[in-house]
Amino acid sequence: MKKITVSFALIFGLMICSMHAHAITLYIGDADGFGYGNAQGYVGADTRPAQRAGNPHILDPGDALPDRNRDGRVYVNSGDDFDYRDGNEKNNIGNSGVMWTDVSLSRSNPTSPGRGPYRADQAVFTFRFNVPVAGDPDFGQDHFVSLVYADYDVDPMYAEVEGRRVEMKDNQFGGFDGFIWRTYTVVPWNNLKDGRVAVNIIAPKEPFIAFDYVLLGSKALSITGSSLPWLMLLE
Ligand SMILES: [Ca+2]
Ligand SMILES: [Ca+2]
Ligand SMILES: [Ca+2]
Ligand SMILES: [Ca+2]
């Protein structure tokens, strides 16, 4: 009986610790390759396998968004639309903007959120969280927002994080149509104190874009994969 009492005390102690060890790591959407997973059997607009870099289990930075109908381009009205959102994502559960992930944002996609010809231009992601307090590991620390996207090729497009402009690399940088990459920026501690971080997408002329997820954490999303050394140098 004494043993059990000790165990309860231990568990209670751990619970207190985890409650105090508050750190911000939040995803809007999920890291699942835009819903394609590893995209086995799919090719990019350059006819090479869509899966070519980074984590081999998902489409991630350095990979290609699939040219589904193999017409040599990834574009609006080019047979490349997809919608891999689950019910929660479609219904924007949590009101975070998750409905803008894992779906092609284009007018040729009947299930794309948004209105008009440039759907991505209306995308907004909002993180809401409990602000770390003194003693928490993240207290007083600057954080980072990272955004994984695909097929930016019609200027201008950028993200506004807490009102500040964040540039994004386009398909030309990657060297192929449907290029998947990520952008990131620091979010100063002062901007975290209200428990809210907003990310607005500005893309007034972009007819076809996709987002995998947005991450708020204490580190920026790093680029991995031995096939990308030249891109990593250019960054
Ligand atoms: Ca990959
Ligand atoms: Ca196509
Ligand atoms: Ca595009
Ligand atoms: Ca996703």
Q: For residue range 48-61, what is the model confidence (pLDDT) as tens digits? A: 999 999 999 999 99
Question: Is 77 a member of any domain?
Answer: yes
Report d(CA 24, CA 28) in Å as an integer: 13
Ligand nearest, relative to CA of residue 44? 2
**For residue 36, what are the domain limits?**
23-234
User: How many structural domains does the chain have?
Assistant: 1
Q: What is the largest CA-CA distance in the chain?
A: 71
pLDDT at 51: 97
Kindly identify the ligand whose nearest atom is closest to the C-alpha of 49. 1
Asked if the model's pLDDT at residue 22 lies above 80, the reply is: no
- Over the chain, what is the mean pLDDT? 91
Q: Tell me, what's the pLDDT at 232?
A: 74
**22 CA from centroid of ligand 1 (Å):** 31
How many angstroms separate the CA atoms of 98 and 112, rounded?
13
Q: Which has the closest alpha carbon to 188: 134, 145, 136, 130?
A: 145
Mean pLDDT of 63-71: 98
Q: State in Å: Cα 22 to ligand 4 middle.
A: 25
State in Å: Cα 10 to ligand 4 middle.
37
Burial annotation 163-187 (CB, 10 A radius, 16+ → b, else e): eeebebbbbeebebbbbbbbbbbeb
Span from the CA of 162 to the centroid of ligand 3 (angstroms): 24
In a domain, 9, yes or no: no
Q: Is residue 109 assigned to a domain? A: yes
How far is ligand 4, taken at its centre, from the CA of residue 178, in Å? 16
**Greater model confidence, 102 or 2:** 102
Residue for token pair 């402009």: 165
Q: Give me 7's structure tokens.
A: 């165990």
- 11 within a domain of the structure (yes/no): no
Residue 13 falls inside a structural domain: no
Within-domain flag for 10: no
Q: CA 150 to CA 205: how far, in whole Å? A: 15
Q: Please give the distance, rounded to the nearest whole angstrom, from the Cα atom of residue 177 to the centre of ligand 2.
A: 10
16 falls in which pLDDT band (50, 70, 90)? Answer: very low
- Indicate whether 18 pLDDT > 60: no
The verdict on residue 18 lying in a domain is no
State mean pLDDT over 188-209.
97
Indicate whether 5 belongs to any domain: no
